[in-house]
Copies of this chain bind each other. A is one copy, B any other.
Amino acid sequence: MHPLLRDYFRKRTDADEHVLEKISPYFEERSFKRNEYVLREGEVCKHNYFIISGCMRLFTINKEGVENTRYFAFEGKFATCFTSLISGLPAFENIQSLEKTTVLRIHRDDFYYLVETEAAVNKVYRNIMESAYITTQRRIYDFQGADSLERVQWLLKHQPTILNRLSNKVVASYLGITPYTLSRLKAKL
């Protein structure tokens, strides 16, 4: 089992080496180029991706073509479109790699099989869902009523590396403002 994934399980469960080796074969390594689409809106999401290196984003595109980024996943995090993975319905979200990215992916059928049969995976899954829920709620809470300046300051406080690592366009779509406004605000600071 890859050391990053081993760490992930070790931090969240008491799974022993035997269990980890049992889980390991269900994951397979894949690579994506910079800006490659991993999942497109309308497709059914078949995999859960654990990121070894690089970065992905989960985002939607509304009917006017405006992008809204929900989530950035960096090394050592899972990324998938849960709304599709859970339901088996077509996704309304896209997943895109923002850098050259290497992942371990697990098929949804295998994943949910393990959730049902392996306590460690059940626990990790619960932990992922809980974290995703809390993070989402927290972000809504922090952004509600916040103007554009406050949103940028929020990012500086909570995820400052993002501002340097990723393009203005992508960051702006995360903050719910336009790249123009973001550019003006960066100039001020």
Contact = CB atoms under 8 A, between A and B. Distances in A.
A78 to B, nearest CB: 14
A62 B144 contact: yes
A134 interface: yes
Interface stretch (A23-31, A101-109, A125-133, A159-167): A125-133
Contact of A64 (B62, B66, B130, B145): B145
Given A64-B145, A141-B60, A144-B176, A136 B134 contact: no
Size category of the A interface is: 20 to 34
Contact of A141 (B92, B126, B141, B176): B92
Given A122-B122, A129-B129, A82 B141 contact: no
Contacts of A134: 82-83, 86-87
A140 interface: yes
Given A122-B122, A126-B126, A130-B129, A145 B82 contact: no
A136 B70 CA distance: 11
A68 interface: yes
A142 B130 CA distance: 22
Interface of A: 60, 62, 64, 66, 68, 70, 82-83, 86-87, 92-93, 122, 125-126, 129-130, 132-134, 136-138, 140-141, 144-145, 176
24 contacts: A60-B144, A62-B141, A64-B145, A66-B144, A66-B145, A68-B140, A68-B141, A68-B144, A68-B145, A70-B137, A70-B140, A82-B130, A82-B133, A82-B137, A83-B134, A83-B138, A86-B134, A87-B134, A129-B130, A132-B133, A133-B133, A133-B136, A136-B137, A140-B140
